[in-house]
Amino acid sequence: MPSQSVLEQKKAIVAELTERLKNSVTGVVVSYKGINTEDDTKLRKELRENNVQYTVVKNTLLSRACEEVGLDDLKPVLEGTTALATSDSEYAAAARILCGYAKEHDNFKVKSGYLDGAVVDMDTIIAISKLPTREVLLANVLGAFQAPIAAFARVMQAVVDEGGFDACLDKKTAEEAPAEEAPAAE
């Protein structure tokens, strides 16, 4: 039987994992078997830069934390080597980075994941991984907002280039006036 101090340490780890699962908007469970230290360091760096917390966890401790949070559907995949990646703010970062990494490394596998407190299937995780980054999405939205303004600015510049509003009106009326009919050839 484990000593009291070991039990207290494990309880503290389960409590920390429980809080982490509660406070995160998304999480991905992976099997990290077979990756080398250099690749692991690169992966952890990329995850850190995207505000994703990544840790290797014991299956039994993560299983207990999942029970406390209501993520019981994660428990069947908790065997073998297990690491947990969670994000408190961005939904797609962990899935995008880890699914991309799994494509490049045969032994590295995405096992499961959750989104807003509910376990999702692998198709959903893959779909989330294909979402663009937050910055790209914001740039697209800003581009959509800016498009009408830019079009108006181009029209106004064309008016100025034509010599002003009156010159544009004169040109438009000249184009719309019916051309005089040529005499019919005999």
Number of Cβ within 10 Å of residue 22's Cβ equals: 13
Q: 145 and 106 in one domain?
A: no
pLDDT in tens, the chain (186 residues): 668 888 899 999 999 999 999 999 999 999 988 788 898 899 999 999 999 999 999 999 999 999 998 888 888 988 989 999 999 888 888 999 999 888 988 888 999 999 988 888 888 888 888 877 777 777 878 888 888 888 888 888 887 787 777 777 777 777 776 655 555 555
Could you say which DSSP state residue 90 is in? -
pTM, entire model:
0.69
Strands annotated E in the chain: 26-31, 52-56, 83-87, 109-115, 118-120
Answer yes or no: is 103 within a domain. Answer: yes
Among 115, 131, 147, residue at a domain's last position: 131
Question: 146 and 105 in one domain?
Answer: no
For residue 182, is it within any domain? no
Residue 98 sits in the same domain as residue 152: no
Same domain as 150, residue 79 = no
For residue 36, give its domain range.
Answer: 4-131
User: In the prediction, which pLDDT does 183 show?
Assistant: 56
Q: How do beta strands 26-31 and 83-87 pair? A: antiparallel
Domain count, the chain: 2
Question: For residue 83, what pLDDT is reported?
Answer: 92
Same domain, 102 and 159: no
pLDDT value at residue 128: 84
Residue 184: inside a domain: no
CATH of the domain at 81: 3.30.70.1730
Q: How high is the pLDDT of residue 172?
A: 72
Q: Tell me, yes or no, whether 181 lies in a domain.
A: no
| Whether residue 87 sits in one domain with residue 164 | no
